[in-house]
Amino acid sequence: MKDNQPPQNIESAGTPLQSRKSPTRRILVVEDDWDIRRLNTEVLAHSGYHVDAAEDGAAAWDTLQRNRYDLMVTDNDMPRVSGVELLHKLHAAHMALPVIMATGKLPQEEFTRHPWLQPAALLLKPYSFKELLGTVRNVLRATDPAGEQAAPPDWQTGPSAGGLQ
């Protein structure tokens, strides 16, 4: 469905749920597959997060220079700048941003060679929306326990991202 891809490399999916008790948490989704990027963005936005999306690591890096985020969810295998390269850039710039790597193949060799690159959490594709939301909630709680008090809805019976790769 690359033909349906929006012309911009940064997308925003505001915050449709305004009933959250804590301030809206900002998440950057970095994914080169348009369908997965759209689904992850929509699920997170409908759960009360402010979500921006980038089509690859290069677009994400540009966005990170202009905006502050509480969390980044990134794929690894992307054109221009991979997820691991993006982690290298964050580390070199001393940017303290928790990262969830959601990818089809973990770059274990890179993590073994450079343990400081290890993200806050790993999600192996295919994963469900429930797994994504639970991981996001856990990482945000671990990095700022006072700031992530409102839990997103339970997606046990909801749609699944199963099959996304």
Cα gap 52→112, rounded to integer Å: 30
pLDDT tens-digit profile of 114-153?
A: 888 889 999 999 999 999 999 999 999 998 755 544 444 4
Residue 92 located in a structural domain:
yes
DSSP assignment of 20-64, as one string? Answer: -SSPPPEEEEE-SSHHHHHHHHHHHHHTT-EEEEESSHHHHHHHH
Q: Is 139 left (phi over 0), alpha (psi -120 to 50) or beta?
A: alpha
What range defines the domain where residue 54 resides? Answer: 6-18+25-143
Q: What is the pLDDT of residue 146?
A: 59
Domain count, the chain: 1
Q: Is omega for the bond preceding 6 within 30 degrees of 0, making it cis? A: no
User: Which pLDDT score is estimated for 86?
Assistant: 96
Q: Summarize pLDDT for 13-62 with one digit per residue, the tens.
A: 443 444 444 568 999 999 999 999 999 999 999 999 999 999 999 999 99
- CA 153-155-156 angle, 5° bins: 130
Rg (CA), the chain: 15
| pLDDT score of 74 more than 70 | yes
More confident residue, 64 or 112: 64
Residue 52's domain is classified under what CATH number?
A: 3.40.50.2300
* pLDDT (tens digit per residue) in 93-108: 999 999 999 998 888 8
Residue 160 is assigned to a structural domain of this protein: no
